[in-house]
A and B are shown apart, each in its own frame.
Chain A
Amino acid sequence: MMKKNTDVLVIGAGLSGLMAAAKAVAQHKKVLLVAKGMGALGLSSGCIDLWGYQINQPDKVCTNPLAEIAKLVSHKPEHPYAKVADVLPESIDFFLQICHQNKISYLNTNRNWQLPTALGTLRPTYLVPQSMAVPDLAEVKELLVVGFQALKDFYPDVLITNLQKNTPLGAHCHLKTLMVKLANQELNANTLAHLLEKQAMLEQVISQIKPHVLPGMVVLFPPVLGEQLGHEVTEVLSEKLGCSVYEVANIPPALPGQRLQKALLHHLKTQGVEVIIGCQVTDAQITEKRCQGVVANSNGKIMEISAQTMVLATGSFLGGGLTSQSNEIKEAVFGLPVKVCPGKWSRQDFLSLAGQPFHEFGVAVNDQLQPLDDQGQVLLENVLITGANLAGCNYPIEKCGNGVALASGYKAGKLVGEAGR
C-alpha cells in the first residue's frame, strides 16, 4: 500500500482548504492537500462575501460587514464567525496578498459593494475582483449591457428590466443593451473567454460595440472576459472602447471564480504544497482523541496518509462533506457528529428570509476549531474543521460563505503553524 507522510493534511480544495494550505505552508509546514474533485470555488462568483444584511433589519444591506460581524459574535456565539473573528482582518490581508502575487487583483474598500448580477438584482459583497468592481449605479449616466448571441444564460434585456425595478438609478440614467454577433453558433463561457483573448476576436467585438459607446458610459459584460491570469481582457476593452468595462456575476460556469481557484492552486504548487485532486479520503484511523492517519482512494488505489494535523475542508452536502439519510446526518470522513437544529430541517417556503435550517448543519467546534461532542468536549485534538463543515451559519441568507471559509481556513493554517501541535 502506498504511504504518504506529511505535517499537515488538508482535505478539500474549496476556499477554506486552499487558505488553510496556503497559511500552513507560509509557516514552513510540509503540506499535502487532497480532494475528491475540483471544489466549489470554481463555480462561485469569484467575489468574497463577508456579511450581507443588517442583523436588526435583515432586508437592508449593511455597509460595514465587519461591524455587523462584531455584533453577530456577541449575539450568536455558536456562529462560526465567533470562532474566527480574531483573525478575520488578517485573513483578508493574507488573501489579498496571495491574489496580488498571483496576478489577480482584488479590491477592498472596507465596505460592502452592491454589484449587479445577470438577473439585474443587486448583490452585497465585500472583496471584489478588479474586473467586477462596478461603481455605484446611482452615479451612472449611461449604462450599456452587452451580451453575446452565441452565449446562453446571459440576457441583457432581463438584466436591464430587473435593474430598473431593483435599483435607485440616477434620474437621467440611460440604459441600453447590445447583442454581439459572432460567427460561432453556440459558445459556453469558457470557450468564449478563451476566444476573447485572441486579438482579432476582440477587435471584432470592439468594432460592434464602439459605435454605441458614449462619453462616461459604463459597459457591463457577462463574466467571460478572458481566462488567463494577468491577461486583462477587461483592461484592453476598457481602453479601446474609451469607457469603463466590468463583468457581472452570473451562474456557473463563470470565469472570475475559476480564475481565483486557478490562482490559489497555482500559489500552493509554487510554494511546495503537494496537491492531489481526484483522491477521496474514505476512512480515518483514530486512537483516543487523535487521528493517526487517513485512508484515501485514488482511482481505485488505496493510499495511507499520516499527518500531525488534519484540516477538514470537505464542504457541506453539495461537496459531499456531509452525508444525509432520512434520519441521520454524518460528517463523511471522521464520522463526526453533526449538529442539527431541533424540529424541522427544512421550511416549505424555499426562499424564506429566515433561511433553510439544514444550511446550519455542521460540526460544532471550539475556538481552536477542534470538533466537539454535544457536551462540548473535544473529540479529536489534531483535526481542525473549516468552511462549510462548520455548524451554525446560514450562508445563502447571511451572505457569509466565502468569508467564513476564508477566515476559518486561514485560522486552521495559522494554528497548525504554531509550535507544539
Chain B
Amino acid sequence: MTQENRLALDNCIKCSICVSHCPVAKVTERFAGPKQNGPDLERFRLEEPAAVHPSIGYCSNCKNCDVACPSGVSISAMNAKAKGEYVTLHGAPLRDKILARVEQMGKASRLAPSLVNRLGRIKPLRVLGEAMMGVSSEMTMPTYAKKTFLEMFQPKKITASKDKVLYFQGCYVNYNTPEVGMALAAVLAYHDIELTVEPFNCCGLPLIANGFLDVAREYAQKNVSKLQQYIEQGYRIITTCPSCNLTLRREYQELFDLDTSQFNEQMMDAFEFLNLLDQRGELKVELQELPKRVGYHQPCHLKAAGCGIPSLETLRHIPGLEVRDLDAGCCGLSGSYGFKKEKYPISQEIGQNISRAVQELAVDQVISECGMCQLQVHHVTGAKVYHPIQLLAEAYHLA
C-alpha cells in the first residue's frame, strides 16, 4: 500500500456514512460493512495480513462507500486488496474461479452459444449446478450471442475521420450484447468517425471482485501496454461499459500501481465522447421523434466515476423521449456476486428498490449502461432493458 493511501486511511473519521450507504450491509448482517472491513481492519492488516476477516467476501465492490465518503478514503480499494489477501490465504471455491473468468467463459461458449443458452434455461441442470457448484439456480443467466462483436464488426475506412477512436468493447458486449457495440459503431460512422477495434483481455474486474488479483494484474499489464500504444498515436479510447472504464482508469492504478494518468484524459464513456462532439457543434441533432417513456438506471460504477450521467445529456436531443431516473440505487447484482448461491438472496433484496421504482414510474422499458445491471433490472422487473446507445441509434434511424 502506498504512503498516500496509508494517509488516506487515517483520514477516516469513523463517521459511518459509508455504512449507511452500503447496499449490502443494509440487507444483511453477514457483511460487517465498509468501515469495519475497510479502514478499521486495514490498520491490523497492514501489520498482519491474516487479520483479514471472512466477511470481506460479502463486499460486492459497488463502490458506494467511496462515493459517500467525505474524506476521500479509498475504502473499496482497501476491501479489494483485503479480499485478495483472504483468497491468497484461504483459497477460493472452484465456482469463484470460473465466475471470475468471464473472458474464458465467453471463449468457451463460442463452441456452441445457443446450446450454452439452452442449457442455462434447463431448470434441473441449474438445480444441480446450485447443489454442486453453488451457482444460484434462480438467477437469469446472460445469453451468449450467435456472433461476437469482434466477428460482426466490419471495420470501415473513413477518410478524413474527425477523430481517432479506439473502442474497448469489454467482454459483455463482445460475447453477450454485440448489438451495443454495433449501435455505437453505427452512431460514430454516421458522424464520419472511424472506429478501431482490437481484441483485449478482460478488464479484470470480475477477477478483482473475486479476489484473484494476480491474474487481474497480468491482464492489466497487457491491456495497459496495448492501450498506451494507441494513446501515443493520438487515439481516444471509448467504452460503453462503466465498470470496464473505472477498472482501467482507477483500479489499475489503485490496486496495481500502474500509471494510468493518461487514461483519465483520453479514456471516456461513449456518451462523454458524444457530448464532447456536441460541445464542438459536431453532434447531429436532427433526430427522429421517439414518443416513449423509459426508466433510467444509473450503474454504481458510473456513479463512482463522478462524471454525472453523460447519456442523459445526449438523449435530451431526442424529441418526444421522456427518460425518468429510477433513482433507486444499486441493482444488487454486482457482476458475478448475485450469481452465487449464498449471495443471490442478498442481491435480490437490494434489487427490490429497483422493482419498486419501476412500478412507481410505471415504465416497461429501462435503459442502463452496464450489462450486468441490464440483466438484473430485467430479472427483478421483467422490463425490457437495453443500453442507451441503442436508443440513440434508433433515433438516428440506424437501428
Contact = CB atoms under 8 A, between A and B. Distances in A.
Contact of A253 (B20, B27, B275, B306): B20
A300 B72 CA distance: 12
Majority SS of interface residues in chain A?
A: mixed
A13 B265 CA distance: 26
Contact of A319 (B70, B253, B276): B70
Interface stretch (A57-65, A141-149, A188-196, A388-396): A188-196
Contacts of B275: 2
B140 interface: no
B27 A303 contact: no
Q: How large is the interface on B (under 10, 10 to 19, 20 to 34, 35 or more residues)?
A: 35 or more
A301 B304 CA distance: 12
B29 A269 contact: no
Contact of A38 (B21, B264, B308): B21
A345 B304 CA distance: 38
Contacts of B327: 265-266, 269-270
B29 A184 contact: yes
Contacts of B264: 300-302
A253 B26 contact: no
Interface in B259-313: 261, 264-265, 268, 272, 275-276, 279, 303-309
Interface in B1-43: 13, 15-17, 19-22, 25-29, 33
Contact of A1 (B27, B261, B265): B265
A252 B16 contact: yes
Nearest to A227: B26
Given A278-B303, A300-B249, A188 B70 contact: no
A36 interface: yes
Interface stretch (B61-69, B198-206, B225-233, B376-384): B61-69
Nearest to B310: A2
B246 interface: yes
A23 B279 CA distance: 28
Contacts of B309: 274
Nearest to A38: B68
B70 A320 contact: yes
Contact of A252 (B15, B66, B72, B261): B15
Contact of B72 (A36, A38, A265): A36
Interface string B47-91: 000000000000000000011111110000000000000000000
B67 to A, nearest CB: 4
B66 A278 contact: yes
A191 B28 contact: yes
A189 B33 CA distance: 12
A82 interface: no
Determine the interface band of chain A, counting residues with CB < 8 A from chain B: 35 or more
A299 interface: yes
Chain A CB within 10 A, most for which of B15, B66, B268 = B15
A46 interface: no
A300 B247 CA distance: 12
Residue among A1, A4, A253, A320 facing the most chain B CB atoms (10 A cut-off): A253
B325 interface: yes
B387 interface: no
B250 interface: yes
Given A37-B70, A194-B26, A278-B303, A188 B19 contact: yes
A276 B307 contact: yes
Contacts of B26: 190-191, 194, 227
A279 B27 CA distance: 27
Contact of B17 (A38, A188, A266): A38
Interface of B: 13, 15-17, 19-22, 25-29, 33, 66-72, 246, 249-250, 253, 261, 264-265, 268, 272, 275-276, 279, 303-309, 325, 327
Given A191-B27, A299-B246, A301-B306, 16 more contacts: A2-B272, A4-B308, A37-B70, A37-B71, A38-B21, A38-B68, A42-B21, A187-B29, A190-B20, A190-B22, A253-B17, A253-B20, A258-B20, A266-B327, A299-B249, A299-B306
27 contacts: A2-B268, A32-B308, A37-B17, A37-B68, A37-B70, A38-B17, A42-B17, A43-B15, A188-B25, A188-B33, A189-B20, A191-B25, A191-B27, A253-B17, A258-B20, A266-B327, A274-B308, A277-B68, A278-B305, A279-B306, A279-B308, A298-B306, A298-B307, A299-B307, A300-B250, A302-B265, A318-B70
